Amino acid sequence: MTEGNSRPDWDEYFMDIASLVARRSTCQRRKVGALLVKERRILATGYNGAPTGLRHCLEIGCLREQLQIPSGERHELCRGLHAEQNAIIQAALHGVGIAGATLYCTNHPCVICAKMIINAGIVSVVNLDGYSDKLAAEILGEAGIQVKTL
């Protein structure tokens, strides 16, 4: 917050919105929200959950829980898409260019999302919480993508 008043700065403002988006998540393990922003304008949002038209884990249970798969491992054994993936897909679906955008996400991206972020032309990531994926942090750094944790 800026000193002397309760008005949030831009990063806080957009992260508050990403946190609200996360409330739509249908994941039983971790609720994540993402927001793509360019020139202080929201381009797309996303939260983690099953693809459109498929039953959500809230309805049928979590395969990863059933198989006791630790967080950050075996991403392919999940019905859901990550919030970052859904935000990028929503932008593509609606013809919204995201090159040069900033991704606001309630969690640090995993390595799969990091690779998508790089190829989508996203230039910076702002997140609230870390994520135990050192390779993701390394490749974002190598690609010159600025990462900031609030």
Please calculate the CA angle 114-101-36 and round it to the nearest 5 degrees: 75
Which residues of the chain are under the pLDDT cut of 50? none
Percent of the chain topping pLDDT 90: 73
Domain ranges for the chain, please list them.
10-149
The whole-model pTM stands at 0.91
**What digits encode the pLDDT tens for the residues 90-99?**
999 999 999 9
113 labeled binding residue: yes
DSSP label at 23? Answer: T
- Could you list the active site residues? 84
Is 62 annotated to bind ligand?
no
Res 129: pLDDT: 81
Q: Is position 108 annotated in a ligand binding site?
A: no
From the list 114, 97, 3, the residue with the least C-alpha distance to 41 is: 97
Residues shown for the chain: 150
| CATH class assigned to 10-149 | alpha beta
CA atoms of 47 and 36, how far apart (whole Å): 12
| Single-letter amino acid, residue 145 | I
